[in-house]
Structure 1
């Protein structure tokens, strides 16, 4: 099958919207109507549960490898989210990246405008998946950028970045790539998938980074920082830059807040990994809420499989006693269709299920 050149692909464009940090600077007592969510679920959540914590060093070496692997397997089955400690990412890189991201969001508006989203892309400053002037907006500012492989980068956007940020993005994206590969190989081991099959899928995979800034909000109970969603990718690694809580995971129809641990990274299963695991692992819906007196900053790194590879349940997992519940499609086509459908609210995971094939053109 001939694939569309990556340079011409659209992984999710968005209409330009007002800058939320600029709104926050106006010291409003009421948020604009476009941010008000009358249908929003109550922010009351269950704080008695917490997502599992995985020690990566125990997972890859030592006497507790088997028990930590089982712990990882259960976390991905039951939660789809976990916090990773002793992850091996160089502390100085995390600190330098944190500083540069904070400085990026502090840029004057005139400087930010040079890095604004274009009409045909999500990359740059702006928001995600805004498709109409009537659409309700999230209370956040984001900066998105494609980082790997090098051939898909927007060179002109990289050249406009502050030089210090440009340098640290290189180091950070490579550390995230290495960590993601370690984790997915452990997932393959837990699922009893051929590790080479997983490595092939993941080698030269696509990586994008989304930096999120949630300013204080005068009416946090009326809006949302990031609307409920699951991730299209295989694996997401979230680096929270401060201790402000805001990320919540839907568990058994209850929103559970995630309290970020010091020096930990938050990892979640994406839709692609649910497909590869043939439904064993779950891509879980999550959201971000805001509060009235604290800002929150985070960086999400999205890792997908190789754009030219075929996405579907792992061949080494499927057999007479485990028939595929998802169909197969080239990764690039999957992403194009995902972003096209995400905008109308239809779950693409449902579309990917085998029984949905008859209804698809």
Structure 2
């Protein structure tokens, strides 16, 4: 997953958004401002649907509760997102991570730049890619598992490093258990999806979204679907920002106390032959308060071939595969070069043309 993987094109140095806001809160460079046509054509906001986002009890899932597995199946099929409660991660662990992250982002820029992201990699502090319009955010991105993929020279100092280690160990447990549950609802043996990964790779992204006085003109994170298997997000309970696309409307995801937000990625969409779809989501900014979020992703080994699973094809209309076979590393490489918003990359790279 490092620079030797050749999955990532060189990224030119970009200004630090947090520093821009500090020096002049009324400065918004042109490269961050969305096109007026995009703003005018934006899907409407549907706040009333926020309360309908499914809630899944992780402790019941872990015990193989059939009713909860059915809820998981419905959530993945109808929403592609759900809030997960009773995950078992202690409050002192999540608070430790949040406190350490806040202190890190408060450091002087020269201190944070000691672990700056290299131009040809995504690990480290900075920006992982350049799109046509830049996102109003700064990030720390690390590959945590397997340990041989870690690049410790771009890990932050303690106590942040220890907090990431402790939290990520818990998220490893959660990711493996979620994949076991998804295996069951796809009609397979419990460990089938874990085995299909060959090596469960676990990146983590800690994103800082500064306030923006032109919050309606910029995007903290552009609309996209995740290119991995699953994602698990811990977000601030008092600073909203995440929105998901449901029935062609943007639905804000309100934080539940001590809950994680889980979403289906492109790889589950392909494996399930489209029964479970990865969903476009984005992060909006606000005018008054910074937001920090903590995203954990689960992805396969780069050499794994991804294609619809036989039993999911048989369940599909016409019993035909809707996606072609693609090696995960190739999928990442092709989609990275496209630099398009939304889900066009899934159709263009993996979907079989009608």
Q: What is the distance in 1 between the residues matched to 2:173 and 2:23?
A: 42
Residue 221 (structure 1) aligned with residue 223 (structure 2): no
Per the TM alignment, residue 32 of structure 1 is displaced from its structure 2 partner at its CA by 2.1
* Equivalent of 2:61 in 41, 44, 59: 59
* Equivalent of 1:148 in 131, 145, 150: 145
State the match for 2:332 in structure 1.
335
Q: What is the distance in 1 between the residues matched to 2:2 and 2:141?
A: 17
Q: What is the distance in 2 between the residues matched to 1:115 and 1:302?
A: 21
State the match for 1:191 in structure 2.
186
State the match for 2:226 in structure 1.
231
Q: What is the distance in 2 between the residues matched to 1:226 and 1:335?
A: 19
Tell me the SS of whatever aligns to 2:68: helix
State the match for 2:8 in structure 1.
12
**Which stretch of the first structure deviates more once superposed, 285-294 or 327-336?**
327-336
State the match for 1:353 in structure 2.
351
State the match for 1:255 in structure 2.
250
Q: CA RMSD in A?
A: 2.3
Per the TM alignment, residue 156 of structure 1 is displaced from its structure 2 partner at its CA by 2.1
The alpha-carbon distance between structure 1 residues 197 and 171, as it changes in their structure 2 partners (threshold 3 A), is: same
Structure-to-structure mapping, 1:148-167, within 5 angstroms: 148-158=145-155, 161-167=156-162
Q: What is the distance in 1 between the residues matched to 2:103 and 2:116?
A: 16
Q: What is the distance in 1 between the residues matched to 2:185 and 2:342?
A: 32
Structure-to-structure mapping, 1:83-122, within 5 angstroms: 83-122=83-122
Contact 1:234 1:270 in 2 (8 A): yes
Per the TM alignment, residue 348 of structure 1 is displaced from its structure 2 partner at its CA by 2.9
State the match for 1:313 in structure 2.
308
Tell me the SS of whatever aligns to 2:257: coil
Task: Name stretches of at least 5 consecutive residues in structure 2 with no aligned partner.
Answer: none
State the match for 1:127 in structure 2.
127
Contact 2:306 2:328 in 1 (8 A): yes
Contact 1:9 1:336 in 2 (8 A): no
Tell me the SS of whatever aligns to 1:317: helix
Q: What is the distance in 2 between the residues matched to 1:227 and 1:72?
A: 27
Tell me the SS of whatever aligns to 1:220: coil
Q: What is the distance in 1 between the residues matched to 2:313 and 2:190?
A: 15
State the match for 1:274 in structure 2.
269
Structure-to-structure mapping, 1:12-91, within 5 angstroms: 12-13=8-9, 14-37=11-34, 38-41=36-39, 42=42, 45-50=45-50, 51-61=53-63, 65-91=65-91
Tell me the SS of whatever aligns to 1:147: strand
Contact 1:129 1:343 in 2 (8 A): no
Residue 304 (structure 1) aligned with residue 310 (structure 2): no
TM-score (norm 1): 0.88
Superposed CA offset, 1:278-330 (max 9, x none): 11101000011011011111011111123333211224434496332212233
Per the TM alignment, residue 43 of structure 1 is displaced from its structure 2 partner at its CA by 8.1
Contact 1:188 1:195 in 2 (8 A): yes
Q: What is the distance in 1 between the residues matched to 2:30 and 2:331?
A: 35
Q: What is the distance in 2 between the residues matched to 1:127 and 1:8?
A: 18
